[in-house]
């Protein structure tokens, strides 16, 4: 089992033993133990640049490309180059549950951040948008530690983490204050980094363990009425309009409301994903963490998509300078529509119909709320939204309480005096 994980991680290098769990896996893999009982060593992922400071501001695409070009290019697993058959030296060691542990490896903060991001991409398989957000948060944290004279992650203290959390809320000359939800995400990223550093032998203690993310305010999902949704869809344009961008806009908004898809799921959709739409009105959506789910597509959305794919998309694809994009929703230059571009389409339609404070997630919230109002089972709504836990979906039941009150007031003979 350990060998398969090592192979998937890419090129590996011999490294002294770290945790008890990995010690057991190494022993099971046949790596010898010295006479003292402590394991010879475990295999550590090697990127070739692990001790070099990472370049700040690098995007996920460049980061992932670097992984593919380097340690993750499918190189064979490296074998240990040395074995230790004598007694373990006592200098720099501390007692552990399975024997002595070597002192933490000295790695710069930027180097530790790069290794943690590599772990999130390769082993955790987190969504690209999540990794990009974590990278921004952690690069800012690395700069914060550098300003306080911390050259390595092992030098950070609980006070550093707590003051970083406070600095996110207050902002500074270079950064505006962040919302509670954004601060919570950054603290989660920092906590994950320190926990990873302990597991990976980069630090002896976890200073972020006691620093909790701020509690987010309890806000109900914002949904709009069915009449408001219809006005918004009409404001996007008609399926009979000859303008390909109008056809695209109407198809996008119909798709968002008709499936409850996240904006990233809609913009990430490819034409091949809709090949079967005529005979089977359902679509396979890829959500957070690469999780996939089938979602039915309503007749209105199917009609709008058909009009766009037949008469609108070919015109937009013809404007592409490079190779044609496989994306369903294209921008005016023939490339894949971005999340920001899709948000702009919705915003423009909202302005035309006089709707205020409408976002792509508003369509998703409305999708779920209207299903529950229509009598759908909460477990079905959970599956359609792609929620891992039904507890996440239950927040929509609170929204429908107003609907229940209206029905109760109108139907019960003693509801009002």
Q: Hey, which residues are catalytic here? A: 262, 288, 361, 364, 387, 396
Tokens 């300078």 locate to 321
Residues 6 or more apart whose Cβ sits within 8 Å of residue 45: 9, 10, 11, 12, 13, 71, 115, 118, 119
pLDDT of residue 61: 54
Please tell me which residue, 159 or 392, carries the higher pLDDT value. 159
In total, the chain counts a number of residues equal to 417
pLDDT at 26 over 50: no
Overall average pLDDT of the 297-303 stretch: 92
pLDDT of residue 218: 67
pLDDT at 119 over 80: yes
At 13, phi and psi to the nearest 5?
A: -135, 150
The model's confidence at residue 288, banded by pLDDT at 50, 70 and 90, is: confident
| Most confidently predicted of 1-15, 21-35, 351-365, 392-406 | 351-365
- Cβ pair 327, 308 in contact under 8 A: no
Q: Identify the CA nearest to 133 among candidates 268, 288, 9, 284.
A: 288
pLDDT at 3 over 50: no
pLDDT of residue 388: 82
The model's confidence at residue 290, banded by pLDDT at 50, 70 and 90, is: confident
CA-to-CA distance for 262 and 287, rounded, in angstroms? 8
The model's confidence at residue 126, banded by pLDDT at 50, 70 and 90, is: confident
Across 52-56, 153-157, 219-223, 267-271, least confident range: 52-56
CA-to-CA distance for 228 and 373, rounded, in angstroms? 16
CA-to-CA distance for 130 and 148, rounded, in angstroms? 27
Mean pLDDT of the residues in the chain:
76
Token pair listed for 118: 């590599």
The model's confidence at residue 280, banded by pLDDT at 50, 70 and 90, is: confident
The model's confidence at residue 417, banded by pLDDT at 50, 70 and 90, is: low
Tell me: the pLDDT tens digits for 330-389?
Answer: 999 999 999 999 999 999 999 999 887 788 888 988 998 899 888 888 889 888 988 888
pLDDT at 411 over 60: yes
């Amino acid at each position: 089992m350990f060998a398969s994980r090592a192979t998937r991680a890419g090129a590996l290098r011999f490294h002294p033993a770290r945790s008890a769990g990995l010690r057991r896996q190494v022993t099971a893999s046949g790596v010898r133990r010295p006479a003292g009982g402590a394991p010879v060593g475990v295999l550590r992922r090697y990127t070739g640049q692990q001790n070099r400071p990472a370049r700040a501001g690098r995007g996920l695409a460049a980061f992932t490309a670097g992984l593919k070009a380097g340690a993750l290019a499918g190189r064979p697993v490296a074998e240990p180059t040395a074995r230790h058959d004598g007694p373990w030296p006592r200098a720099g060691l501390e007692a552990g549950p399975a024997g002595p542990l070597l002192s933490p490896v000295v790695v710069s903060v930027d180097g530790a951040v790069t290794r943690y991001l590599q772990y999130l991409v390769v082993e955790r398989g987190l969504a690209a948008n999540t990794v990009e957000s974590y990278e921004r948060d952690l690069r800012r944290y690395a700069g914060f530690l550098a300003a306080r004279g911390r050259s390595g992650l092992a030098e950070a203290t609980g006070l550093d983490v707590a003051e970083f959390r406070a600095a996110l809320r207050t902002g500074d000359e270079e950064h505006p204050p962040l919302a509670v939800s954004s601060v919570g995400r950054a603290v989660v990223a920092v906590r994950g980094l320190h926990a990873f550093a302990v597991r990976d032998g980069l630090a002896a203690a976890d200073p972020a363990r006691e620093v909790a993310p701020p509690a987010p305010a309890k806000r109900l999902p914002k949904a709009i009425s069915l009449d408001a949704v219809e006005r918004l869809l009409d404001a996007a344009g008609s399926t009979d309009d000859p303008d390909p961008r109008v056809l695209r806009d109407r198809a996008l908004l119909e798709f968002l409301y008709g499936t409850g898809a996240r904006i990233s799921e809609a913009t990430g959709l490819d034409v091949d994903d809709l090949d079967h739409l005529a005979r089977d009105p359902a679509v396979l959506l890829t959500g957070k963490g690469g999780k996939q789910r089938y979602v039915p597509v309503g007749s209105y959305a199917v009609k709008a998509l058909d009009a766009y794919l037949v008469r609108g998309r070919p015109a937009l694809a013809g404007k592409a300078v490079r190779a044609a994009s496989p994306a369903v929703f294209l921008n005016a230059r023939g490339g894949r529509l971005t999340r920001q571009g899709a948000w702009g389409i919705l915003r423009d339609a909202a302005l035309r119909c006089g709707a205020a404070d409408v976002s792509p997630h508003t369509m998703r919230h409305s999708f779920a709320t209207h299903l529950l109002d229509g009598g759908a089972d909460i477990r079905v709504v959970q599956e359609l939204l792609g929620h891992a836990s039904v507890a996440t979906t239950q927040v929509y039941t609170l929204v429908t309480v107003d609907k229940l009150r209206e029905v109760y007031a109108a139907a019960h003979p003693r509801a009002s005096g």
